[in-house]
A = this chain, B = another copy of it.
Amino acid sequence: MKIAVVAPSCTLKPEAAEAVVAIAAARDDCELVIHPQCFLSDGHFAGPDNARLAALREVMADEGYDAVWFARGGYGSNRIAESAVEDLPAAARAKTYLGYSDSGFLLAAFDKAGLDVAHGPMVQDVVRPGGEAAIHRALDWLVRREPAALEPGLQPGRRAMAFNLTVLSNLLGTSLEPDFDGVELLIEDVAEHEYRIDRTMFHVTGSPAIRRLGSLRMGRMSEIPDNDPVFGNDAESIVRDWCERSGIAFGGRADIGHDAANRVVPFNIRSG
């Protein structure tokens, strides 16, 4: 299996790329090609919009690749997501796309365009504590659809989606918004204050499209900054509260998050 790595958001750290290429080489079941665009830098981004878009479109159109793996999040994939799915070549439909966090903008747009996407670990996760396990999990799933890589609550045949909550909030109502009808939605977030989680849950669950979800599960909300005064509700209470207010079934916790334990959530589980 041949996997292309591009960076539609922020610049990939060279040491992360080296470590992951070494892991893949040692596995001997896949070939990883790190696109040079991953190391471009233009202010906040891994190169200007047109360079990030060109690299992404290039690997999408390349029949030689079985999968496109997003290097890392940060911010910026929303700026090219709409253009990325215009006039899709056939080769783009014959591969899998994997990422999370800011890459959620692409997961949404690609899912809406009928492509095969999954929420899961990215290349730069190798630098997290225990990050090597995240890399193996991602590759196990990309290469051989290893069931142990999957988020354990997923049900075969049931549509699922997973998003960073803040990213999801920022794509609602835009051209990237996918169809949530009957979907099991998994959310996670990182480094957001509880008042922001509460406000974002208000926004997300206030959407008529989101109210057509089948159910919602909560992954990890990590690195929550201190609130002054103490907010008064923890993240799970906040999520439960807004599900109850909006009539969305709360399905419990999910094993996803900004950490090395982040499991894979294919939006369409086929052979899982």
Which residues of chain B come closer than 8 Å to A39, judged between CB atoms? none
Question: How many residues on A have C-beta within 8 angstroms of the other chain's C-beta atoms?
Answer: 35
Which residues of chain B come closer than 8 Å to A43, judged between CB atoms? 229-233
Q: Chain A, 179-213, contact with B by CB distance < 8 Å: what is the 0/1 string?
A: 00000000000000011001110110011110000
A44 within 8 A of B: yes
Query: Could you tell me the dominant secondary structure of chain A's interface residues?
Result: loop
- Nearest CB in chain B: distance from A17 CB, A: 18
Which residues of chain B come closer than 8 Å to A172, judged between CB atoms? 172-173, 203
Whole-angstrom distance between the alpha carbons of A174 and B209 in the complex?
Answer: 10
- Nearest CB in chain B: distance from A208 CB, A: 8
Whole-angstrom distance between the alpha carbons of A226 and B63 in the complex?
Answer: 42
CB atoms of B206 and A173 under 8 A apart: yes
Whole-angstrom distance between the alpha carbons of A206 and B78 in the complex?
Answer: 11
CB atoms of B233 and A199 under 8 A apart: no
A51 within 8 A of B: no
Which residues of chain B come closer than 8 Å to A208, judged between CB atoms? 173
Known A-B contacts A75-B195, A172-B173; the reply to A232 vs B45 at CB < 8 A is yes
Taking a contact as CB atoms closer than 8 A, the residue among B74, B76, B173 that contacts A173 in the complex is B173
Whole-angstrom distance between the alpha carbons of A209 and B209 in the complex?
Answer: 16
CB atoms of A44 and B203 under 8 A apart: no
- Nearest CB in chain B: distance from A191 CB, A: 11
Which residues of chain B come closer than 8 Å to A169, judged between CB atoms? 169-170, 203
A79 within 8 A of B: yes
Known A-B contacts A44-B227, A174-B207; the reply to A198 vs B75 at CB < 8 A is yes
A31 within 8 A of B: no
Q: Which of A41, A79, A194, A207 has the most CB of B within 10 A?
A: A79
Whole-angstrom distance between the alpha carbons of A233 and B209 in the complex?
Answer: 33
Between A and B, 24 residue pairs with Cβ closer than 8 Å are A42-B232, A43-B229, A43-B231, A44-B194, A44-B195, A44-B227, A74-B195, A75-B199, A78-B199, A79-B198, A79-B202, A169-B203, A170-B199, A170-B202, A170-B203, A172-B172, A173-B203, A173-B206, A173-B207, A173-B208, A173-B209, A174-B203, A174-B206, A175-B206
Given contacts A44-B231, A75-B195, A172-B173, 14 further A-B contacts (CB under 8 A): A41-B229, A42-B232, A43-B231, A43-B232, A44-B229, A44-B230, A75-B198, A78-B202, A79-B202, A169-B203, A170-B203, A173-B173, A173-B203, A174-B207
